[in-house]
Amino acid sequence: MATTSARLLQLAIPLVKTHGFTREALSRSVLSLPTPHAQPLPDAAITSLFGQGDNARKSLIDTWLEDAREQMKATQSTVVKDVLWARLQHNEPVLNYLPDAFAVLASSSTFLPLDPEPAITHAAKVANEACWIAYPTEKSWHTRRASIAAIYLASELHQLTSPSTTYQFLSSLIETSSAAETSLTEAQIFGSYVFKSWAGIVKSTGVFL
């Protein structure tokens, strides 16, 4: 059963462009099998395979997001801006359906009316993938990923409201982040010089002799 549902989820991914993240896309996935069914699956079959209500939609959304992350590995460039832009471009065919999809994910918690965890996890996974491509030997592993995740999340939110200016917005965020990183690095270097000079002064007083 798990193999069948996984296979149908994969076949439903191309149907998201036309049918959205819906039970109908899952239902029509059987029409894309090597030996296609004559009719789409009935709703009862979708329920037995993927669960009731929005559970089926959530499975399709998770599979689509995972596929999008896999597609990032095919990016030709290793520059983080290009990798994130490629990921954002992957959203374009389904842009109209994404707000609803994110709402389904955010409302899937049994305890909270609006769960931020799926959005944070989504951004973190995209950032992780982007960093493995662009910064494979990064020493500041966690801070780099946190920064890229924030940039990606802001850019994706911007894309949902103003798709035509997404690239400029992404570029400006990355430039600001680079400038902040450079300033921080220079401040650290200056701080180390000050520390070393004071250490030299203290040593020269003979306190430690």
Q: Which of 142, 204, 207, 208 binds other proteins (CB under 8 A)?
A: 142
Contact between 113 and other proteins (CB under 8 A)? no
- Closest approach of other proteins to the CB of residue 154, in Å: 23
DSSP line for 136-180: TT-SSHHHHHHHHHHHHHHHHHHHHH-GGGHHHHHHHHHHHHHHH
- Closest approach of other proteins to the CB of residue 136, in Å: 5
Contact between 206 and other proteins (CB under 8 A)? no
Contact between 3 and other proteins (CB under 8 A)? no
Stretch that binds other proteins, among 12-20, 41-49, 77-85, 137-145 (CB under 8 A): 137-145
- Kindly state the DSSP code that residue 113 receives in the 8-state scheme: S
Residue where the block lists tokens 């079959």: 45
Q: Which of 1, 35, 114, 136 binds other proteins (CB under 8 A)?
A: 136
- Closest approach of other proteins to the CB of residue 170, in Å: 24
Contact between 208 and other proteins (CB under 8 A)? no
151-159 — which CB contacts under 8 Å span 24+ positions? 151/84, 151/177, 152/84, 152/87, 152/123, 152/126, 152/127, 153/119, 153/123, 155/84, 155/88, 156/88, 156/91, 156/123, 159/88, 159/91, 159/95
Give whichever of 141 and 190 is closer to other proteins, judged by the CB atom.
141
The residues of the shown chain that bind other proteins, judged by CB under 8 A, are 132, 136-137, 141-142
